[in-house]
Amino acid sequence: MKINKLKVTIISVTAVLALFLVFLFYQMAQSSSTSSLTTLLMLIIGLALGGAIAFLATRNSSSAAPVVTESSHTIAESMRKVFKIVSAEGHFNEIYNYEETTKLLKFFPSKKKALVIVQAKVLVGYDFDKLKWELDEENRRVRLLEFPAPEILSTETDYKYYNIEEQFFNLFSKEDLAKIQQNGKRQVIDAAQKSNLPNIAAEQMRTLLTELLAGRNFSLDNPVKISESRLLLNDHYTKN
């Protein structure tokens, strides 16, 4: 749309100059003075230059879009069967402040810092491969022998950088940015582990197992095992 408007403007200006040139030529026909002839030549030269500039501007403005070539190769490293169930989901916003100070020539301090907002979605659930239980078919009861602690099954993170400050002799490298993202993600994981997510996951799992067994006329003998695994997990996080 902008290119078309530019072309119309150039054509209009050229038409006006042409009309002015015709009018001037008519005036010169009435008077063949040397100054008029000089003026005519100058106008012709100016018109030629203007036309050349207009041509170059139009050609540059209507250049074709760049051609982008993309390629990718996907390699499947491994595949295996798992039995993991997500029972809680949490969204976190972590403010991570990174600051590093070095001394140039051991005398002049040089500082770089960045403020990063880490937005993450954390999924907490259970790995049923770690579950041990026994079945009492006569009394239609299921007894839990060992129940795994809730764990983080997936973490999706997005990083937004704010207030990045660096100096000429102390710039951010790719390794610095990778370390910032790694540390930010670790803080989100720590916050998720210490939050109420494990408790929510445990309550959801106890409800799920109770209703699932009730649908087959079985009862869960000791659902307290699920709560115990949750408490042990919270105690582990507190100590660490």
Range with the lowest mean pLDDT among 27-31, 129-133, 148-152?
27-31
Domain boundaries of the chain, sorted by first residue: 2-61, 84-239
Q: Is the pLDDT of residue 57 over 60?
A: no
Quick: pLDDT tens for 102-118. Answer: 776 666 777 788 888 99
Whether residue 234 is predicted with pLDDT greater than 50 in this model: the reply is no
Q: What is the DSSP letter of 150?
A: P
Predicted local distance difference test score (pLDDT) of residue 170: 65
Residue that the structure tokens 């239980």 belong to: 133
For residues 97 and 120, give the distance between their C-alpha atoms in angstroms, rounded to a whole number: 16
DSSP character at residue 43: H
What is the Cα–Cα distance from 7 to 15, expressed in whole angstroms?
12
Is the pLDDT score of 37 beyond 80?
A: no
Higher pLDDT residue, 77 or 23? 77
Q: DSSP states of 160-171 as a string?
A: EEEEEE-BTTBP
The answer to which of 57-61, 113-117, 211-215, 217-221 has the lowest mean pLDDT is: 57-61
Residue 121 has pLDDT above 80, yes or no: yes
Q: How confident is the model at residue 158 (pLDDT cuts 50, 70, 90)?
A: very high
